[in-house]
Amino acid sequence: MRTVTVFGFLLLFFAQGLWAQEDEYVFEGVIKLSGISLYTYSIHFYEEDGALEGYSITDQDGAYETKSLVSGSIDYETQTVTFYESEILTVKSPKSLDGFCYIHFNGTLKDGQEQQEIWGKFNSKYKTGDLCINGVISMTNKGPVLKKKERIKVALAGGIKQEGRIEQETRIEQESRIKRENRIKIKEKSKSLVSKANNVSINTVATNEVLHVFTKDDELSMLIYDEEVSDNDRIDLTINDVPILVDYGVTKRSRKVTIPMDRDRVEVKVTALTTGIIGKNTIRFDITDSNNLTRTLTNLEVGETATMVFLKQ
């Protein structure tokens, strides 16, 4: 079985070479729903051996901003791209999430030396799998250009003899195993993209707006502080209508509040009691669980309330 040993060595060498490049790919553009509704849409992902893992942002900085995990693949031979949204990370919406749709996209990669476009139609589905709304997505790359990476080849003295049936089956099995392992690795790597995005972006929540945050933890930590000038911003804060902070004066020194996830839905409300000296009542809330940091900023007039809803997955 010397041939099998040779194939095993080749595949191991190939797998080790796959992770030499770790570019983050970003495509930005618009999503057009049935009719004339347009929203901004972007995907941020890692790609290796045709597999992509990352996250999408719909309606960035808008009233319905949504961040979701995405998984998919790229076929460089046919220039096709497919991906689907698998899990919501955060969503800002005053409406119920019972009817939330997950995008399932199938389109083309239009190639260029420096500029590429991903374009195509999509269907969206409810969590139940039933079809929802459909539309079109059009995006161009911002940064590195997607291109197929050449497999590393090893020259062997005398070459490789024609494979027998057993050796061929073994090679196919090993290639499939490597692809499965690479998909797992790239899923782990993509978590760093989400963490980095959360560290940079801030979710602004105004009156009558609701920010939904998803978690798998039994407990969340919330730090409350004023990152600018401490200007006598005062708030009331409740968790499931139970007062936690009453007429609390927020300063640059953070105050920690623990949010127990002892039910499927936990609601945190922040009510502005003053607007301070400078502008509106603007308070920072940094919420962390074992996987993510969600940075949030309230922007309220006196008497207005912002709501954060934490949902147990």
Regarding whether 288 and 253 lie in a shared domain, the answer is yes
Q: Is residue 7 part of a domain?
A: yes
Residue type, 289: D
Regarding whether 144 and 27 lie in a shared domain, the answer is yes
Regarding whether 268 and 119 lie in a shared domain, the answer is no
Predicted confidence at residue 17, as pLDDT, reads 41
Predicted confidence at residue 143, as pLDDT, reads 84
CA distances from 226 to 190, 193, 211 (A): 31, 27, 19
Regarding whether 264 and 139 lie in a shared domain, the answer is no
219-220-221-226 Cα dihedral, nearest 10 degrees: -150
Q: Is residue 217 part of a domain?
A: yes
Q: Is residue 159 part of a domain?
A: no
Regarding whether 196 and 90 lie in a shared domain, the answer is yes
Q: What is the three-state SS of 204-259?
A: EEECCCEEEEEECCCEEEEEEECCCCCCCCEEEEEECCEEEEEEEECCCCCEEEEE
Regarding whether 233 and 190 lie in a shared domain, the answer is no
Q: Is residue 29 part of a domain?
A: yes
Regarding whether 143 and 50 lie in a shared domain, the answer is yes
Q: Is residue 63 part of a domain?
A: yes
Mean pLDDT, each 10-residue run in order, the chain (313 residues)? 42 40 84 84 90 91 87 93 90 72 93 87 88 92 83 46 61 67 71 65 83 92 87 92 96 95 94 85 91 88 94 86
Q: Is residue 156 part of a domain?
A: no
Q: Record the pTM.
A: 0.69
Regarding whether 125 and 24 lie in a shared domain, the answer is yes
Quote the domain boundaries for residue 72: 2-149+176-200
Closest listed residue to residue 103, CA positions, set 70, 80, 141: 70
Predicted confidence at residue 225, as pLDDT, reads 94
Q: Which domain CATH number covers 189?
A: 2.40.160
- Residue 47 CA to residue 142 CA, distance in Å, equals 15
Predicted confidence at residue 37, as pLDDT, reads 81
Closest listed residue to residue 61, CA positions, set 213, 209, 190: 209
- Residue 11 CA to residue 16 CA, distance in Å, equals 9
Regarding whether 139 and 253 lie in a shared domain, the answer is no
Q: What is the total count of domains within the chain?
A: 2
Predicted confidence at residue 19, as pLDDT, reads 38
Q: Is residue 167 part of a domain?
A: no
269 Ramachandran zone, left/alpha/beta (phi>0; psi -120 to 50): beta
Regarding whether 79 and 66 lie in a shared domain, the answer is yes
Q: Is residue 162 part of a domain?
A: no
Regarding whether 21 and 135 lie in a shared domain, the answer is yes
Regarding whether 184 and 37 lie in a shared domain, the answer is yes
Which one of 131, 166, 200 terminates a domain? 200
